[in-house]
A = this chain, B = another copy of it.
Amino acid sequence: MISLDFHPAGRHFLQIPGPSPVPDRILRAISYPTIDHRGPEFGALGRKVLADIRKIFKTEHPVIIYPASGTGAWEAALSNTTSPGDTVLMYETGHFATLWKSMAESLGLQPEFLGLPGIEGWRRGVQPDMIEARLREDSGHRIRAVCVVHNETSTGVTSDIAAVRRAIDAAGHPALLMVDTISGLASADYRHDEWGVDVTVSGSQKGLMLPPGISFNALSPKAIAASKAARMPRSFWRWDEIIEANKNGYWPYTPNTNLLYGLSEALDMILEEGLDNVFARHQRLGEATRRAVRAWGLEIQCADPAVYSPVLTGVMMPEGVDADAVRKRIYERFNMSLGQALGKMRGKMFRIGHLGDCNDLTLMATLSGCEMGLKLSGVPLQGSGVAAAMEYLTSHADTPALKAAA
């Protein structure tokens, strides 16, 4: 088999904002023998994961599980709800919002792309007032859907989805609200029903701690109703046949059996830990990371503390420093992968993932690797981020509850 680790010894630190490190329990689960996707075991598995995944999205309505990676779920959201030529209102929070907009164009939609000018838009969350203003102008209700990203993986900035819903309602506009929380789900609090989201798009390889290959559409009754009128050519992504087959725990075509084993295990792990504990853990690791960045004297990519991401942190490089050269040095010398800056930010920052199956010491390894790599790259640092993070973790962290012995 091809070697999967180019380093001679020791565990790789995968600190990109997804895929996140996959826990051993899940890796073992996905390696169980594949079974008949039409047999009774499979039906039991299907019913279980379909029930439990709703708890993660906080919804009472159907969640579609696709045997495809996350980009497919973007297409599914658009193709089930729109017709060729439709206008959709999208918001530029970063690279992934931009890619979703490009996809809308590829599909023959007319996306309007709101956002703050230049890089500034990539450093703050969605501005609900801009959305409200645009919808108020759209008196003919030509805009079919408002599409926003909850946790911008390219920047480390979240957006206030409930506020976007309030903006739509304030404008009295019937547009659907479609939200990408591919990297936010199961790491940052997310409430599909309470926030009035019509379609939530997500994926497996982030907070759910799975390998890539599964993606999701969580639906509202309004979205389901809209899909009946939508005329975008589609087949693989159709919700209706999947919803029908899902009633018994099956799918209309071959599902991604082994990743569903992993999903079952992941849901068990998350529900055992408790969603609120999961969110608190991510908040704590995020805050420790930001304290490290400030101690280094570097700038956090997210310019608005109200919307710091608990999932990843973008670290801006000083003028003249090539962030990718720093990342490469850290990878080669310290066997750690960090996230590359994308699109408008290319070369200007790197991204630290602190999501999924991470704990205090994983984070300390990560921050140590960053600090050493920055020094070796000649980046002037004001102080030790590692020391700042340790100070925070020792002074603020609750003792994690140990499981009771069996």
Contact = CB atoms under 8 A, between A and B. Distances in A.
Contacts of A211: 34, 256-259
A369 interface: yes
Given A6-B405, A31-B28, A340-B38, A333 B397 contact: yes
Contacts of A84: 233
A402 to B, nearest CB: 5
Nearest to A42: B4
Interface string A363-388: 01110110110011000000010110
B1 A265 contact: yes
Interface in A25-41: 27-41
Contacts of A174: none
B32 A357 contact: no
Given A28-B28, A371-B390, A37 B8 contact: no
Given A2-B45, A8-B273, A107-B235, A390 B386 contact: yes
A236 B12 CA distance: 30
Nearest to A399: B333
A349 B40 CA distance: 20
Contact of A253 (B70, B107, B358): B70
A196 interface: no
A5 B13 CA distance: 20
A135 B171 CA distance: 56
- The oligomer's copy count stands at 4
A123 B35 CA distance: 28
A26 to B, nearest CB: 9
Given A7-B400, A32-B4, A372-B393, A364 B365 contact: yes
B33 A21 contact: yes
Interface of A: 1-14, 16, 18-19, 21-24, 27-41, 43-45, 48, 66-72, 74-75, 79, 84, 102-103, 106-108, 203, 205, 211-213, 232-236, 238, 253-259, 261, 264-265, 268-269, 272-273, 277-278, 281, 331-337, 340, 357-362, 364-366, 368-369, 371-372, 375-376, 384, 386-387, 390, 393-394, 397, 399-403, 405-406
21 contacts: A2-B264, A3-B406, A4-B32, A9-B278, A10-B357, A13-B361, A14-B36, A22-B33, A31-B31, A39-B331, A67-B72, A67-B212, A68-B72, A212-B255, A213-B257, A258-B259, A335-B359, A361-B369, A364-B369, A386-B387, A386-B390
